[in-house]
């Protein structure tokens, strides 16, 4: 794989705790060589970090406490890719980590996690979208909908589908092209251009 003007390999993974899985992640990265890895539920505290050769690590610990290991998101990006870390706007309903790639044209990549109990999460998507209208959001959003091959709909899935089909989508890309299916767990990818 690797970065090229014609493509970028982005992977998303709900780690459900990253510290005990770093060796597996290193092995996977060595085999697949993705450009960007978007991680959710990393369960790192603000003092934790991981090191992967040739990658830069950015994380946003959970907002529930500096020393508590739960939730949280992260991004690993190849060090050779021109990028910059973007601090989040103040988010209340989702966890997110964001980087900007200024060259393809400028686009923000966001690793997002929505806790299962938070219903107002699309308000935070609006804040992320305000940072850059070219945005790629991937993660575990706990939002089931038949449109992305779930066996059933839930209210959060309906809410997310309505948001994706709403004014932020405009006449850009057909909604059906905005979904990607990841092995082990169905995760939603939203792309707004």
Domains and their CATH numbers in the chain: 10-142 (3.60.10.10)
Helix (H) or strand (E) holding 191: strand 188-192
Q: Distance between CA 128 and CA 88 in Å, rounded? A: 8
pLDDT of res. 168: 56
Point out which residues pair with 101 in neighbouring strands: 107
Q: Distance between CA 62 and CA 46 in Å, rounded? A: 8
E strand segments, 5-150:
10-14, 36-40, 55-60, 73-78, 84-86, 95-101, 107-113, 135-140
pLDDT of res. 193: 36
pTM score above 0.85: no
Evaluate whether 103 touches 82 at the Cβ level (below 8 Å): yes
pLDDT of res. 25: 94
Q: pLDDT tens per residue, the chain (193 residues)?
A: 444 445 788 899 999 889 889 999 999 999 989 999 999 999 887 777 889 999 999 998 766 544 444 588 999 999 999 999 999 888 888 889 999 999 878 889 999 998 877 777 878 888 888 888 788 888 888 888 888 777 888 888 888 888 777 765 544 443 333 333 333 233 334 444 3
């Amino acid at each position: 794989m690797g970065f090229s003007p014609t493509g970028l390999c982005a992977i998303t993974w709900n780690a459900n705790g990253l510290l005990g899985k770093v060796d597996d992640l290193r092995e996977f990265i060595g085999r697949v060589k993705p450009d960007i890895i978007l991680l959710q539920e990393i369960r790192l505290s603000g003092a934790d970090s991981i090191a992967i050769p040739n990658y830069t690590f950015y994380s946003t610990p959970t907002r529930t406490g500096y020393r508590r290991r739960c939730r949280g998101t992260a991004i690993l990006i190849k060090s050779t890719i021109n990028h910059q870390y973007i601090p989040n706007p103040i988010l209340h309903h989702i966890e997110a980590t964001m980087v900007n790639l200024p060259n393809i044209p400028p686009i923000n990549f966001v690793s997002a996690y929505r806790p299962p109990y938070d219903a107002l999460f699309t308000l935070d998507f609006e804040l992320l979208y305000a940072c850059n209208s070219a945005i790629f959001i991937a993660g575990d959003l706990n939002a089931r909908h038949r449109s992305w091959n779930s066996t059933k709909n839930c209210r959060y899935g309906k809410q997310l589908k309505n948001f994706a089909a709403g004014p932020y989508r405009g006449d850009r890309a057909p909604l059906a092209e905005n979904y990607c299916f990841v092995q082990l767990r169905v995760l939603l990818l939203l792309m707004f251009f």
